[in-house]
Structure 1
Amino acid sequence: MPISLIITVGLTLVILAVAAGLTARSHSARPLVRGIGLAAIPVGYYLVGFTDLTINGVVSLIDWLQRTVFTNVTAWGIGLLVGGIAIFALGALLPRRSRPAVEEGKAPAKPAAPPRPAARPVEAGPAARPGTPATPPPAAKPTGKPAQQKGLDAEDAEIEALLRKRGIM
């Protein structure tokens, strides 16, 4: 019996056993269905021939490691390889910025507003004239932003005003 078949059967049985345990614990069919799907992957991997290819690759890697002389250049190469992978993984884990960085002295770029849909015409009446918009323009809302205080930027002044309004400060 080839080693690739033994690995495939063993991996498939482990996946099915875990799926059965999760199904018994959760009393739901979802883990069982997902487990059957996962168990089909190693079987398909074997039938396509990728299991033999993977085993040959691992054996070749072990052979290469056995015949490679460990020198300073090899140590640097391994260090750079591992360090590069670690930095790449760290970069993937960093949070994304929610807003673009504002350069000093420049106002932040505001995103373009989506186009407004065309207004529906108002029914004909004594006050309706052609060319008059269907809806009146919105009234200017007061922003409620406090006047900028000395030494504070607009955002800090707004936060301070909110804290004062609520009696916290």
Structure 2
Amino acid sequence: MKKIAFLLLICLFNCKSNAQEEAKKSDSKTFEISKTDAEWKTELSDKEYYVLRKAGTERPFSSSLNNEKRAGVYHCAACDTPLFKSEDKFDSGTGWPSFDQEIKGNVAFGTDTKIGYTRDEEHCATCGGHLGHVFNDGPKATTGKRHCINGVALNFKPSNE
């Protein structure tokens, strides 16, 4: 029994995690807009900084953007890059603004393993700000994707106003 436990421990300590290697690669990516941590702290509110720069998550149902029904475009709260269109927004019932597709080229994707399993993370392709995650449980009539986005990471700009 001791030998089995010893071998198990050796196996655990010798395992190499690809997720950690992927995280290192994405951390080293440079973005068009790159600022120091101190600069981001002065430009963003505490909540924006927590979500966009520290990959935090806002409380569900806390964003006024959940109920936003006007036509317009959702921009990155850190750098103003247009990310999502209002016609792609839907009510997922999850408590976060949800979209079935992004504006191509303006949202980048990575891997998030922080909570013990792998999720597809989304971030702004211009500044690298964390937006949320994308799941495969969206409307089947469109893309089948649900881009679950922190409202604090977005600024809404209505059309024709």
**TM-score, length basis structure 2:** 0.22
Instruction: Give the number of the structure whose residues are more often strand, by fraction.
Output: 2
**TM-score, length basis structure 1:** 0.22
Structure with more relative contact order (C-alpha pairs < 8 Å, separation 6 or more)? 2
Instruction: Give the number of the structure whose residues are more often helix, by fraction.
Output: 1
Bigger Rg over Cα: 1
